[in-house]
Structure 1
Amino acid sequence: MQSFINESKRIIRKASENNKLVIFVGAGVSANSGYPSWTSLVEEFARGLGIDTQNISSEDYLKIPQYYYNSRKEKDYYDVIWDKFNVNVKPNDIHDAIFKLKPYHIVTTNYDELLEEAARNQGVFYDVVSKDEDLPYTLNNNMIIKMHGDLKNKNIVLKEDDYLSYFRNFKLIQNYIKSLISTYTILFLGYSINDINVKYIFQWVKDILGNSFQQAYFLENNQNKKFNQVEFDYYKNRGINILYYSETDEIKYLKKSIQFKNLTDERAKNTCIFLRYILDTDSLNKINIDYAYERLKNLNNLNKIFFQNIIDALDLETPFEENDGTIVYSHFLLEKESLELNTSIVTNLFLEIKEYDNKLNKFNKCEDYKEKGELKKEIDFSKEIKVNLIKQVLYKAGIKKIVARNENYIKEVLSLHRKSEGLEKERAIEYSFELNINLYDKMDELEEYISQFDYLNMYRCLDDMKLEDIDGNEEKFFNKAYLLYKLGEYLQAYEVLKRLSQTCFLNKKYYLYFISEFNRYYLGHAISTFNIFSISMLGIHEDIQKEIREEIRKIDLDNIYLKLPSSNRVKLLFLKDILNLKFVYRKIRDTADLKEKVEKNKDNIYIGKGSSDGEIHKFKKNIEDFWKFITKNRLMLDNYKELEMVFYNYIESALLSHMTKYIEEKESILGLPGKVIKLKKIDGFTLFVMVNYSNIKQIKYLFEKYDVQSIKLEEKALEFVQDTYDNVINSILQKKNILEAKQILNKFIYILSRIDVGKELFIRLIDGFLKVIDNYSIELDKLYENLLIFIIKQNNNFKENISIEKIEEIFNYMIYKISSNLEKDRNFYKENTAMNFIRQIAFIMDNINQDYKFKDDKNLKLLIRQMEVEMHLYILEYTLIPVYKLVYGNLNDNEKFNKRHFSVYYKAVIDKIILSSVELEEKILEFINKQAILKNENLEILLLNIAYLILNDLIIQSDKFYKFKDNSEKFSFLIDIANYNYDNFELEWIFKFSDELHGRVYKCEKAKIIIKEKFQQYIIQNECEKHTKNIFFRYYN
């Protein structure tokens, strides 16, 4: 109960400081100044009527003033009231204490003016509102609201009719009070817990707002009344937290120190003491195990915690004033894994934990039965769970050691010694607690797979998670959804999250529900914004995409927190930073600041600092914690630019620091040795971040900006390279998350070009390339380009790594691919890319060893023969161009018109060397007729050339060629796009169209619609090249 009271005290005090405290003042407060209580006033009416009140219920008490009013009428009714209030009284100590709490408003059911007088005495300004007409004309922000009227206006609420007609007579005041209760922190003073007024007030609000209003606080000032769990829970469910005076441990020392001016009643004194207790900063400055446990236990739901989460949860105020008046601006100083304590309030907490651990250790080690029994009496074993949870939370924030350095305070508690010279020697008490490292320090299996791009093992984990029932397996399903997300199975991940959210809410697992809905919203948003090509590659139909888009529109993340039961909201307050992405935006700002510091301090000479100090190492730790926070808590944010910005800032800073020239001075300006602190070697995590959170354009830009020619790796990072490369290659070979794996491979090879990989790993990398190259069709040119850069850079910077035999293997493979391409349907784009690659490889081989002889040159000889034929035809055609005019006469006169004559005519007309000729068209017509009869295999090529001439208006009598439409579907399509029978259309035709021809097709609405439909089906069913995608989005989407 004490921890609950401590927390309630903190909330009330904070509300006071933030103008959010409203105090309700009952008759009990005025009664201690000499005015009648509500009960004694009613009993006065009962005596006038001869009624015995001993056995009358509180509800019947309302009827007694009503009986008197009905019997004696208004004058006699008010005479009784005036007689009771016509006494000379003054505000008491409770009134003074109320105003020291600085309430925003005071609401009272009292009719007297003691509150107004107390306000004047203390020099504070409160407007008085005792009837509806007063409310609109208040000038001050602060009010004393006399909700039951006052004697001056003769509008008091006392008899039954007054209560029944209250809404009509005090409509504005009643509604205003309801709004206060729903949004402000409420403290009741001077009331009995059974007071009819308290019941009515809360019933009003409950009828309108249900349970969605602030919990109020009620002081039970009877020091003999012990905590009653049944009573406590009953009123808590009605919106009232009872604070039992008898359960407040720290209040006793206050009682002795307070001098009361005009209070004699013990319960009244207790009320005053409690108000002083709320104001007491000394008692506020005590955090114990119970308090820390209550504030941190829900934070422990997170698998990784930011230290700032702990500070926010403990609600530690700064600047902080110590007992001696010293002002401290931070309770902690976090250095790597060590937490330094700066104030007595936090030092006390860890000393208490240390003392508890010492007792527990002594008990566990004790072998004497009797002594162990005595030790057992001194230990509260219920605290063991609390202490362990506090340690877990700290450990999840990366803290492994606690150091206390507040010298004066620690010396007093731990009796540290002074130096003989009489000067204070700086000493430190270190308190390191042990935790289960396996649980909290080790990277979990899934994180390890993610950080090494081990998609095969991720799929294996997924296979092991074949669970049917979510109920009872919520955590496992949460991990399953995250695995699906990391493997690019977005639709499946979304569906799992959808089911998970429903189950978690029903089972009141609100933390998981919260994160699940957060992930569903951001994942659903990503799916809903994908273009048609992306969703087809992901296997998501357009109708499903539209359905998801509608579903996420209904997810209001701002309301998810507010929709949780009110009792759970405070417990999950730390999640609001996740909900609104505040933690990401804060990290963007922090990393921008750190980046600026790294840039500013890169050339500074540091004295007396280790190699792992400096801004860049703080930055690295900061980013590692951020990645762990996202990954361990399974947040699905990889698709968002905001996240990329955070990691980009670190990548740039890491490269800047790594490329900074290292300087070490034996003697600096101060006469001491100093050095530049830089990132001497890149670790595996930094490599992972570079590959995972940046694209190749960004990496190339940064490498160029900082002239990155060589990157030095830590020894373990080279192991990371080997394992990760193997994982990516195996994923491509097994076709597991193949698109993602290919992108990773491209970036990886480019980054490795700047790293001394050694000969063994060089060979391994080339072998991997040769294994996967046949799996590529998309972005093949990028793979060639990056592998070429890798080989060139390795040759330039790390010649000893080069294996010329492996380069020959690549060379022979590429020659074989080009030879095969020349023999089949030619793809000039791929052929040209491959030829450029071969030229560069040949140059490198020559540079390495000019006398090197190929072990196997049969593919090279075959390619040379093929290229000789191609070159002969090329030279033959183009040396004829200058004599086309002379040949024109021969073409016209030649009786035997053949393919070569047609080729010469076609080229001459296209190049505008000669004009179209009716006579030659007749010869061509006759020639094509013969080819059609003979069913010559070259007929379609001839007709396509004719179609090209027709489309460019270079055929004079084009209608004569229409008769060949049945000989070639492609020819039929080209010469009559609008009327073509598209049932026979083949999509492959358009891949060789010129831009001009695509433009013609695009202008025909019928053609455009039909081709678009065929194109969409093609994209869904096939792995498309970039060129193909560009055609679709440029002309047909």
Structure 2
Amino acid sequence: MNHIINDIIKIQKAIREKTLVVFVGAGVSANSGVPTWGALIDKISKELKIEKDIPQNEYLKIAQYYYNDNPKSFQDNIKNFLDGEWQPNSINEYLFKEFMPKYFVTTNYDDLLEKTSNKLSMPYSIIAQDKDIPRIGNNNAIIKMHGDFKYKNIVLKEDDYIKYSENYRLMEVFIKSLFATNTVLFVGFSADDPNVNQIYSWVNNILQQNQREAYLLQIDDIENDYELKRKYFDKKGIRIINFNELVTHIENYVKEKNIDNKLKTLKNEKGKQLYKLLYFIKNASPNILDQCYQRLLPTQYLNFLSDTDISKVLDNYWGCYYGTLSSMNNKKIQEFIILLNRQTKKTKETKKLLSNLGIKKVEATKWINDKVVTQNKLIIPTDKITDYKVINLIDEFNYIEAEKVLGNITDDNFVNEYIDKNIDSVNVFEKVYILLKLHRYELAYNILKKISFKAKENGNNFIFIISEFNRKVAFSYYYRDYYYDSSDERKEELDNMQREIWTINIPNLITKLLSEEERNIIEDILNFKHIQNLDNKILKGNVENSQTQFCLKDIYNTFTKNYIFIDNYQEFQKLCTHYTITAFNSINIQENHINLYDVFSTDKYKYDFLDLLLIIKYSETSNLNNLTFTNKIKELPLNDDSDKIKLLNAYNNLINSIIHFDLCKDGSHGNKYLEYLNKFFIIFKVLPLTKNEITIVIENYLKLIINYGWYENFRTTNNLLFYLLNFIINNHNKSHRNTNLNSTVLVDFLIYIVNNSSKIQEDIETDKIKVTRFTDEISSIIKQIDPQITISSFIIDKKSNFAIKLYSFIHKLSDTKTQNRIKKLIITELTNNFDHELYQHACLNNIISPYIKYEKKLVEEIEKRIIKYNELKISKPTMRNGFTNNPVGLDDIYDVLRTIANLLNFEKLKKPDLFLKYKNHKDFKTDNYFLFAIDMKTFDYNKFKLEYLNYLTKNKKEQLRQIINDNISKKKIIKEKFINMISLDRDVNNRLRDRIFNLLYDEPISE
């Protein structure tokens, strides 16, 4: 028994090392219904009218008789007999998927191996004649040593065997060479098969010289002469492994496995026995230590595996929790601990593998009286602590310090030495990881080519496949960054490189090159199955939020700590987006829905630095912003204050790195980093920042904008200020009686914005709108923080209508000289080029007094827009505004009406009656805000919005109070709107709350 187990271990080793060659005989094809050689000979005998039983050693003679009798139709007759729609069986598939030999050699004439190759998408070259041999190269191959009906060169009769060496010289030499360098396994042959005897005659001499193992699998009953046969074949260098010698062990082993469905597809009992024998050979292990060692061995290349992946690697009957390895099978874990306590080379290596994965102890436990009792344990010594310095620097956007790790990276000798030193570890990708972050894509790609070559040369397929995966990622950046600015010659070169990259098929490489143990570790990582599984659970709501956090960080760490590049893969970005949606949607119901049985509930819905980093790096900006608003998130719960400090440092590092490495010089890269900063602002908005922290955030952003010359290199200011402004307003509203904002830094920011406003491109209206709002809001906030402030640093000059609008907001902050200059510019602009918005800003900021002539210009402006609107109704009757869904042209009218409404509400109109005709206009339905402003008394308060209260003078508020006190139904409507707003906890700032309370509850009205 022991010698058979040793043989099986050697076969398993050959599978892992990709040095196994499988010879496939008729016994395998018989399970698909293909007639056996015996059945063929029986049919031939009947046609030849031979009535005696034909022994196997005479099959060749019978075939020769048949040929002599029918030489012209011999091939066709044999083909017709063997023809059929045969389909691969589970033995064929198991040999391909689990044994994965580089070469199949078959004496069969059917095409079942070819069909299996196609079915499983495992490409193998088909070699059926001598001239095919040079095509093998480094490819996997199916070698049909007895020919193919397609070429009419089948080997079946006695003469074919006698003349084989003459007719198939190259084929014979190649097959002989396989025995010299590989372990050979015969499957589907009997010991008396003449095919085996032919091969024996080749093998014997070779094996005497090279001592490579060959094994013959047998299903036959053990007869009296079995030991004689075994010794006979041993002498020839072929070891027999017989199912019936192992039947008890095999049956006990497979009954615990789920292989019944595979067995049901097989035609006969011998086929089922052969499948069980193959399954046992592939999977059985003499003891738990050997089994764990073999499964853990490929982890030597990695820096990190999650607890879940460690359990999976060890076949799922192991549990791994925070550095402790245990098992539900107490007997197995006890045996494992006993074996690990032995002082052997294998136990030392196994402990080292466990230590590298962060396993600190192995423990056997048992439930006794409702308590977990430790029965036995083994402490695993720690050989090394993995240094994640580079990963941490990159996660914290500290690219300046990370660059220092590169060393002399442009020197070929330095790079080659670095690769040679680290080629057996994923750490070989560390410097490439840094280069990608610094946008040095060409160098990163070229180093990865060297790593791939070296790994392949060393036979390290595990590192080779990761390198090829990374090379695809690096090239996508490289191609995108260089292609469009390249010469035609360079573009052609890049296109050729791209075609080569397209040929990299990672799933195929994994199947073709890796052992089962290696596949078990890396396959689900590189095919994103881990990501997809978690994403599906999140979408179906089948996982607790805190458990999602735990799993997501494990997935991220698996990729980053092993330097597997995923930043440009949508699968991970989608996962993070879905996680963010689920997490933020859950924050508001945290206290009401804690599951007492959830083991994660002690720190449920709290976020650490890595959680926030993943949100910032991979969520979509506008979606994140909407989530914080719609879920009424006032403050994000953190695990610890240190997580906030770390996030602030990461923000500061990002700005310093952008400036130092000029990361925003390219439009697409710049947008990516600006999106990061925007998401920082969204997260900062819901964190409890101190006044000093807020000041530093704003100062550093201003530093970045100044460094980049404002609009010139950022292409568009559309979102450059939007999220920063929301961050500032949110902090102002949260603390408006005891502000956390520093007026000095806001003044500096405002001065820079106003003094550089000319750099906005004239045709980018969205930029102007955002800058206008920023200037308006920041000016107001500064004035509220410091009512006595006077700023003399504004540079006032006639630049554009847009610039003059900005001046209208800063007028209240400026010194007297500047105010006079602004007033003069505004009056000149309104006289020469009337603009309703500029007039509104100037009036509301008390720069000029209301003028009837300008009010008449407002009427003229509306009438022009009504004419244009009526023309558009005819020429473009179905066209709608993409934002409001109003008929095209109507929003242009509303813009002026809202200006009029604001002037009315702030009592800045001399002749309100001029605009009464727009209350019920024949051409359009009037804007509700305008209707409220023009006639508060008759307004339909079902259409009232609480925000209107922000735009009323004290006198107007008194008028409104009188109106609703006189008409209780109107007051009730406003009260219900307010109660509804409070119950929904919508984003109501303190000022608006105060105004509503004052209005409804007869408190003193304030400005």
TM-score tier after normalising by the smaller chain length: 0.5 to 0.7
Q: Given the superposition, is the C-alpha separation of residues 823 and 795 from structure 1 closer, same or farther in structure 2, using an over 3 Å criterion? A: closer
| Structure 2 residue identity aligned to 1:722 | L
> Which residue, 714, 722, 739 being the options, matches 2:648?
722
Q: Tell me which residue corresponds to 1:404.
A: 364
Where does 1:751-900 land on structure 2 (aligned, <5 Å)?
751-774=683-706, 775=708, 776-777=710-711, 778=714, 779-798=716-735, 802-804=739-741, 806-819=742-755, 821=757, 833-848=770-785, 851-854=787-790, 860-861=814-815, 864-877=819-832
Q: Tell me which residue corresponds to 1:712.
A: 637
Does 2:106 match 1:157? no
Deviation at 1:655, TM superposition (A): 2.2
Q: Distance in 2 between matches of 1:880 and 1:296?
A: 75
Q: Given the superposition, is the C-alpha separation of residues 334 and 291 from structure 1 closer, same or farther in structure 2, using an over 3 Å criterion? A: closer
Quick check: 2:396–2:653 contact (8 Å CA) kept in 1? yes
Q: Distance in 1 between matches of 2:635 and 2:393?
A: 28
Q: Given the superposition, is the C-alpha separation of residues 868 and 646 from structure 1 closer, same or farther in structure 2, using an over 3 Å criterion? A: same
Does 2:621 match 1:696? yes
Does 2:652 match 1:652? no
For 1:518, what is the secondary structure of its paired residue? helix
Q: Tell me which residue corresponds to 1:304.
A: 304
Which structure has the larger Rg over C-alpha atoms?
Answer: 1
Of stretches 775-784 and 590-599 in structure 1, the one that deviates more from structure 2 is 590-599
Quick check: 1:819–1:863 contact (8 Å CA) kept in 2? no
Q: Tell me which residue corresponds to 2:560.
A: 631
Q: Given the superposition, is the C-alpha separation of residues 276 and 702 from structure 1 closer, same or farther in structure 2, using an over 3 Å criterion? A: same
Q: Distance in 2 between matches of 1:594 and 1:822?
A: 48
Deviation at 1:868, TM superposition (A): 2.4
Q: Tell me which residue corresponds to 1:947.
A: none
| Structure 2 residue identity aligned to 1:726 | N
Q: Distance in 2 between matches of 1:791 and 1:425?
A: 54
Deviation at 1:514, TM superposition (A): 1.6
Quick check: 2:5–2:286 contact (8 Å CA) kept in 1? no
Q: Tell me which residue corresponds to 2:529.
A: 585
| Structure 2 residue identity aligned to 1:785 | F
For 2:379, what is the secondary structure of its paired residue? coil
Q: Distance in 1 between matches of 2:487 and 2:339?
A: 53
Does 2:468 match 1:560? no
Deviation at 1:449, TM superposition (A): 1.1
Q: For residues 571-608 of structure 1, what are the alpha-carbon distances to aligned partners after superposition, in whole Å with 9 as ceiling and x for unaligned? A: 643466168x43x1342222331464477xxxxxxxxx
Does 2:247 match 1:276? yes
Does 2:430 match 1:479? yes
Deviation at 1:13, TM superposition (A): 14
Does 2:482 match 1:513? no
Quick check: 2:325–2:362 contact (8 Å CA) kept in 1? yes
Deviation at 1:684, TM superposition (A): 0.3
Q: For residues 345-392 of structure 1, what are the alpha-carbon distances to aligned partners after superposition, in whole Å with 9 as ceiling and x for unaligned? A: 642453234433xxxxxxxxxxxxxxxxxxxxxx43x22432224414
Q: For residues 199-223 of structure 1, what are the alpha-carbon distances to aligned partners after superposition, in whole Å with 9 as ceiling and x for unaligned? A: 99999688489869994169999xx
Deviation at 1:630, TM superposition (A): 0.8
> Which residue, 429, 445, 459 being the options, matches 2:403?
459
Q: For residues 292-342 of structure 1, what are the alpha-carbon distances to aligned partners after superposition, in whole Å with 9 as ceiling and x for unaligned? A: 22332123212223556555655x4xxxxxxxxxxxxx6234545544411
Q: Distance in 2 between matches of 1:683 and 1:616?
A: 14
Quick check: 1:658–1:679 contact (8 Å CA) kept in 2? no
For 1:216, what is the secondary structure of its paired residue? strand
Quick check: 2:313–2:521 contact (8 Å CA) kept in 1? no
Query: Percent identity, aligned pairs only?
Result: 17
For 1:428, what is the secondary structure of its paired residue? strand
| Structure 1 residue identity aligned to 2:778 | I
Q: Distance in 2 between matches of 1:694 and 1:807?
A: 32
| Structure 1 residue identity aligned to 2:296 | L
Quick check: 1:331–1:346 contact (8 Å CA) kept in 2? no
Q: Given the superposition, is the C-alpha separation of residues 163 and 295 from structure 1 closer, same or farther in structure 2, using an over 3 Å criterion? A: farther
Q: Distance in 2 between matches of 1:548 and 1:675?
A: 48
Deviation at 1:531, TM superposition (A): 9.1
Deviation at 1:447, TM superposition (A): 0.6
Q: Given the superposition, is the C-alpha separation of residues 2 and 266 from structure 1 closer, same or farther in structure 2, using an over 3 Å criterion? A: closer
Deviation at 1:555, TM superposition (A): 2.8
Quick check: 2:327–2:333 contact (8 Å CA) kept in 1? yes
Q: Distance in 2 between matches of 1:306 and 1:772?
A: 38
Does 2:607 match 1:682? yes
Deviation at 1:686, TM superposition (A): 0.5
Q: Tell me which residue corresponds to 1:293.
A: 293
| Structure 2 residue identity aligned to 1:473 | Y
Q: Tell me which residue corresponds to 1:355.
A: 341
Deviation at 1:519, TM superposition (A): 1.7
Q: Distance in 1 between matches of 2:759 and 2:29?
A: 92
Q: Distance in 2 between matches of 1:770 and 1:654?
A: 32
Quick check: 2:545–2:605 contact (8 Å CA) kept in 1? no
Quick check: 2:445–2:471 contact (8 Å CA) kept in 1? yes
For 1:711, what is the secondary structure of its paired residue? coil
Q: Distance in 2 between matches of 1:7 and 1:278?
A: 15
Q: Tell me which residue corresponds to 2:447.
A: 496
Deviation at 1:841, TM superposition (A): 1.1
Where does 1:520-539 land on structure 2 (aligned, <5 Å)?
520-525=471-476, 528=479, 530=480, 536=485
| Structure 1 residue identity aligned to 2:500 | E
Q: For residues 53-76 of structure 1, what are the alpha-carbon distances to aligned partners after superposition, in whole Å with 9 as ceiling and x for unaligned? A: xxxxxxxxxxxxxxxxxxxxxxxx
Q: Distance in 2 between matches of 1:741 and 1:808?
A: 27
Q: For residues 702-745 of structure 1, what are the alpha-carbon distances to aligned partners after superposition, in whole Å with 9 as ceiling and x for unaligned? A: 22342222213222212212321220121133244333543322
Where does 1:46-85 land on structure 2 (aligned, <5 Å)?
none
Provide the aligned C-alpha RMSD in A: 5.6
Q: Given the superposition, is the C-alpha separation of residues 170 and 311 from structure 1 closer, same or farther in structure 2, using an over 3 Å criterion? A: farther
Q: Distance in 2 between matches of 1:833 and 1:279?
A: 74
Quick check: 1:598–1:657 contact (8 Å CA) kept in 2? no
Deviation at 1:547, TM superposition (A): 3.4
Counting matched residue pairs gives: 662
| Structure 2 residue identity aligned to 1:176 | N
Q: For residues 631-675 of structure 1, what are the alpha-carbon distances to aligned partners after superposition, in whole Å with 9 as ceiling and x for unaligned? A: 12222221121111122232223323433331599xx9x9x9999
Quick check: 2:699–2:745 contact (8 Å CA) kept in 1? no
Quick check: 1:404–1:430 contact (8 Å CA) kept in 2? yes
Q: For residues 517-551 of structure 1, what are the alpha-carbon distances to aligned partners after superposition, in whole Å with 9 as ceiling and x for unaligned? A: 122224434655x499x955999964454233222
For 1:708, what is the secondary structure of its paired residue? coil
Deviation at 1:485, TM superposition (A): 1.7
| Structure 2 residue identity aligned to 1:342 | M
| Structure 1 residue identity aligned to 2:824 | V
Quick check: 1:299–1:574 contact (8 Å CA) kept in 2? no
Deviation at 1:784, TM superposition (A): 1.4
For 1:176, what is the secondary structure of its paired residue? coil
Of stretches 514-523 and 654-663 in structure 1, the one that deviates more from structure 2 is 654-663
Q: Distance in 2 between matches of 1:727 and 1:790?
A: 19
Does 2:498 match 1:549? yes
Q: Which runs of 5+ in 2 are unaligned?
A: 45-51, 83-105, 118-141, 144-160, 192-202, 231-239, 254-279, 665-669, 796-813, 837-859, 866-1007
Deviation at 1:446, TM superposition (A): 1.1
Q: Distance in 2 between matches of 1:790 and 1:355?
A: 59
For 1:639, what is the secondary structure of its paired residue? coil
Q: Distance in 2 between matches of 1:823 and 1:855?
A: 22
> Which residue, 332, 354, 366 being the options, matches 1:391?
354
Q: Given the superposition, is the C-alpha separation of residues 394 and 696 from structure 1 closer, same or farther in structure 2, using an over 3 Å criterion? A: same
Q: For residues 817-874 of structure 1, what are the alpha-carbon distances to aligned partners after superposition, in whole Å with 9 as ceiling and x for unaligned? A: 424546999788566543321210122234445x443476766346544432332223
TM-score, length of structure 2 as denominator length: 0.55
Quick check: 1:455–1:736 contact (8 Å CA) kept in 2? no
Q: Given the superposition, is the C-alpha separation of residues 131 and 826 from structure 1 closer, same or farther in structure 2, using an over 3 Å criterion? A: closer
Where does 1:438-449 land on structure 2 (aligned, <5 Å)?
438-440=384-386, 442=387, 444-449=388-393
For 1:429, what is the secondary structure of its paired residue? strand
